[in-house]
Structure 1
Amino acid sequence: MDFVPTLEQTPDPRRWIALAILLTGAFLPPLDFFIVNVALPSIREDFHASASTMQLIISGYATTYAVMLITGGRLGDLYGRRNVFLAGMMGFAAASALCGFAWSPLVLVVGRVLQGLAAAIMAPQALASINAIFPDGEKSKALSFYALTFGVASMAGLFLGGALIALNVLGLGWRAIFLINLPVIAVAAPFAMVILRETRSDHPSRLDLGGAALIAVALFALIAPLIEGREQGWPIWSLLMLAASLPLLLLFWKHEQKLEAAGRDPILAPRLLRAPGLKRGLLAALFFYAFAAFWLTFSVFQQAGLGRTPFEAGLAVLPAAVGFVLGPFASGHIFRVFGRYSTAAGMSLEAAGLFGTAALISLEASTLLPIALFFVGAGQGIALPNLVRTVVQRVDPTQSGLASGLVNSMLQIGGALATALIAGLFFSILGASTDATSIGHAYSISAIAIAICLLVAAWLSVIHPMNDDARRPSDTRLAGKTS
């Protein structure tokens, strides 16, 4: 999402209608992350798929989205945000159709990877276009709607996924969660062609296709064997891929340094990481999104452990989604109370909620589970905007778009790694057991692991150096925008 806002003397008279269209493009990627979690047990039963396939359905999407996010933003700078937005939307529709009509687990995984690619092309154009078409006096309000979209997408995904499967629309079962994207895009795309005004950067960055390819291969070499290796008894190919991942990451870094030295535009500018505290902030983002593994493990516990339907499982997790929606509204107040510790406060609340779910499930005291889940969601809703703000403020304002894209990429990579490692831990503990007690025990251990990652993220978000006096006015203003 590296962009330079385009300032217009006369605001676009159709900008609020355009906002609704742009928010559709911002809504679909997180929706398809959350909606699939409720459907995973049904997909597994239909295809007789392995646990590793379930992990790949999530991590394939998240990894591709993470790797291509910054490149997607630069495509809009170069070729026009409306054009690229429409291309990403059409690609997302095609990939959703492939997922919906998938005839094998492999085809579904491929469809999810293509969905992640299309989402990375589509989503950055929404934020960049909002910055380009809204005057400064209205930008804060428009961005508030943009931020709210992610909370609404989480809630809609969890509820809609279960509802569509329960309704079994046209006998489609879980396939409806992907095919529902098609009528949405069929309505949104024509409006986008007519309503959206074309914008692009005055000084667009060049594409670093070599860097994008290298980081994609390196992450694939790291994540794929972590998922497939465990289930297949760690064959030699999995160990070789793991061993190759570090040299590939080093090769990527050398490539980025070489591009920067040549005065070109690397996908990850090494000079950006020299900003005080930025590396710690990005590490915090990496650990923070270990929470992505929660949706998979909790859904399996609800459906396979408690025997609930997908719709009932979606309803069970709604307290967390409600907390996620409401959390950002409290972000400004939290910042005024906790200051630089606001991010850590949100993460700690989230971790406490996860510890609570683990204890309640172990004690079979599920009556209080909705309260613990609400704390989980509220903590995430508080921590996420504060974390992004903290990281972005550490760079020069001219680099804020790149920093924003970078922190979002780290969040997605963290989610993919967590799905590989923590969900892998869940299935390892579970083994061949299918009883509710064993599944509940496996969930509790995985929830504790996620909570520990969140506490590490909270620690990282606090200890990195920070000039409070220099940052305070800007922080307070941004906190108000978030709330």
Structure 2
Amino acid sequence: MTADSGEGSGAGSGVVSDRRRWIALAIVMTASFMDLVDVTIVNIAIPSIQEDTGASFSAVQWVTGGYALAFAIGLITGGRLGDIYGRKRLFLIGIGGFTVASALCGLATGAEMLVATRILQGGTAALMVPQVLSIIHASFPAEERGKVFGLFGAVVGLGAVSGPLIGALLTEWDLFGLAWRPIFLINLPVGIAGLLLGRAFIGESRAEKALKLDLVGVLLASVGLLMLLYPLTHGREAGWPLWGHLSMAGSLPVFALFVAYEKVKTRRDGSPLVELSLFRVKSFAAGIGVQLTFGVVTGIFFLVWTLYMQIGLGWSPLKAGTTGIPFSIAVSVAAGLSVQQLVPRFGRKVLQAGALVMAVGALTYIWEADRYGTAITSWQMALPLVVMGLGMGLIVAPITDAVLAEVPREHAGSASGLINTVNQLGTALGLGLVSVAFFGAMDDVVAPEAVGTAFGGAFVHAMWWVVAVLAAVFLLMFALPRRKAAVATGTSSASSADEPEREQEQEPVLV
């Protein structure tokens, strides 16, 4: 084992270690892309899954919601396990388990097995995903992280919108007569390659001081998240029963108990599941708030957009999937520009501009949906989608850097898990609000001939919700640091002197 310090090891060694870092980055970003695609790829294939397995609507809800629940509940724990046992080790366990779970999903003989394997897939993703940001944070010095998180933001945007397109293509091609199954089986070669290359190129890193797994914290966080997310995911299907409201209300005292216990755990042995001290870092606390609210935006938009096109307009999965291509391209382009060129010059104004641009795109979409009704075409949707995509790209890349930049490296895993959990929580909140923002704008029973008009009107209603939440995102961004430079370096006048020492102490080890 050699330390990847690049100091006192010769020029040649430095070049090799630099190349290995960038190869490792490509590996973890590919894994992240695989996870992001898997979150959205299933929605487009639901009719095929129902036809092949005879799955009930409730089972289909579990196929999509079970993954999200297992993913959200396990994220914080997965991040802390990486801190304790090594981020490379947990990443490899996660990607290996994710690959096996994907194979089992593709080979599922019925709806029950598919639900169970999707939950397993979400749980293994919770081990893999937090390590991605942690490995980036531990492998790249502060001055390089802006560029790296720009790339990461582009991958996030591309992955979020590519899922429906990839799912549409694989489902309509019906490869080898397998119908929907290739949407899961496609993960096998990617996962195996990531496992083998990850062993060779990813550097190991872990928390500097010895930590212990906070089992009581894991239990409290899991119970609280389950009490909140389960009713949000399945409440509408059950008719928003009383138990759902009681469960969501009951999650608040559970979270309060979790916070109290974490304070005790911190004083006792310094190994809490969540480092509450992170919230004293202004960039982290503000960024978490922005990500939670922005997650609500994406949760509402992507679901109602899919329902509007496939059910309201009657478009095929392929047509709906290809309609999102301009959005995907715009997100990727804006994500790269925002971090590398715009944010260093204009600071948080870029993120705020992103929220305003997205709102303009949503307002344009509202105008077009009202004007053209069910006769709207894909090319007419291109303008609002490009505008919304540009706005999203200005947010998704720099916000990650802003949240993590000042986080001590020994807590990178815990912070990354919390970031991803907050994203999932925001998305779940958005999905829960769809019942009000979208379905609440329609009658309970809609005549077949009126479906297009009803869904179009509901889409417009939901988009007004998107605009309102984006306005809240814009206002919350005033709590972010003004200048990107202060965030990117991860230092302030009080901490700059400590940075070189921390960089040297926490340098990851390459095998």
Same fold, judged at TM 0.5 (above): yes
The residue that corresponds to 2:101 in the other structure is: 95
Name the stretch that deviates more: 135-144 or 218-227: 135-144
Name the stretch that deviates more: 389-398 or 65-74: 389-398
Matches of 1:259 and 1:355, distance apart in 2: 48
Q: Is the 8 A contact 2:142 2:405 kept in 1?
A: no
> Which of residues 357, 369, 381 is equivalent to 2:381?
369
Answering whether residue 348 of structure 2 is matched by residue 340 of structure 1, we say yes
Q: Judging changes above 3 Å, is the alpha-carbon distance between structure 1 residues 130 and 96 closer, same or farther for their aligned structure 2 residues? A: same
CA-atom RMSD in angstroms: 3.2
The residue that corresponds to 1:481 in the other structure is: none
How much does 1:288 deviate? 0.4
Name the stretch that deviates more: 193-202 or 208-217: 193-202
Gaps (5+ residues) in structure 1?
479-483
Q: Is the 8 A contact 1:230 1:424 kept in 2?
A: no
Matches of 2:429 and 2:228, distance apart in 1: 9
Q: Is the 8 A contact 1:59 1:417 kept in 2?
A: no
Matches of 1:18 and 1:465, distance apart in 2: 30
- For the residue of structure 1 that corresponds to 2:352, the secondary structure is helix
The residue that corresponds to 2:509 in the other structure is: none
Name the stretch that deviates more: 137-146 or 330-339: 137-146
Matches of 1:243 and 1:346, distance apart in 2: 33
Name the stretch that deviates more: 287-296 or 403-412: 403-412
Matches of 1:354 and 1:50, distance apart in 2: 34
Answering whether residue 36 of structure 2 is matched by residue 30 of structure 1, we say yes
Gaps (5+ residues) in structure 2?
8-12, 491-511
Matches of 1:300 and 1:46, distance apart in 2: 21
Matches of 1:443 and 1:47, distance apart in 2: 30
Q: Is the 8 A contact 1:74 1:204 kept in 2?
A: no
Answering whether residue 315 of structure 2 is matched by residue 299 of structure 1, we say no
Answering whether residue 190 of structure 2 is matched by residue 190 of structure 1, we say no
| Cα displacement string for residues 418-452 of structure 1 (whole angstroms, at most 9, x for unaligned residues) | 12222564344443435211122222222222232
Alignment of 1:298-337 (within 5 A): 298-332=305-339, 333-335=341-343
Answering whether residue 455 of structure 2 is matched by residue 439 of structure 1, we say yes
How much does 1:322 deviate? 1.1
In the superposition, the TM-score normalised over structure 2's length comes to: 0.81
How much does 1:96 deviate? 1.6
Answering whether residue 450 of structure 2 is matched by residue 450 of structure 1, we say no
| Cα displacement string for residues 86-134 of structure 1 (whole angstroms, at most 9, x for unaligned residues) | 2111211222233334455554443333222211211233343445556
Matches of 1:44 and 1:448, distance apart in 2: 32
Q: Is the 8 A contact 1:92 1:119 kept in 2?
A: yes
Matches of 2:216 and 2:34, distance apart in 1: 28
Structure with the greater alpha carbon radius of gyration: 2
Alignment of 1:16-415 (within 5 A): 16-43=22-49, 56-132=62-138, 144-276=150-282, 278-290=284-296, 291-332=298-339, 333-335=341-343, 338-364=346-372, 365-366=376-377, 367-393=379-405, 402-415=414-427
Answering whether residue 434 of structure 2 is matched by residue 422 of structure 1, we say yes
Name the stretch that deviates more: 331-340 or 160-169: 331-340
How much does 1:278 deviate? 4.7
The residue that corresponds to 2:494 in the other structure is: none
In the superposition, the TM-score normalised over structure 1's length comes to: 0.85
How much does 1:210 deviate? 2.2
Q: Judging changes above 3 Å, is the alpha-carbon distance between structure 1 residues 476 and 228 closer, same or farther for their aligned structure 2 residues? A: closer
Name the stretch that deviates more: 389-398 or 264-273: 389-398
How much does 1:390 deviate? 3.3
How much does 1:368 deviate? 2.7
Identity of aligned residues (%): 34
Matches of 1:392 and 1:198, distance apart in 2: 19
How much does 1:58 deviate? 4.1
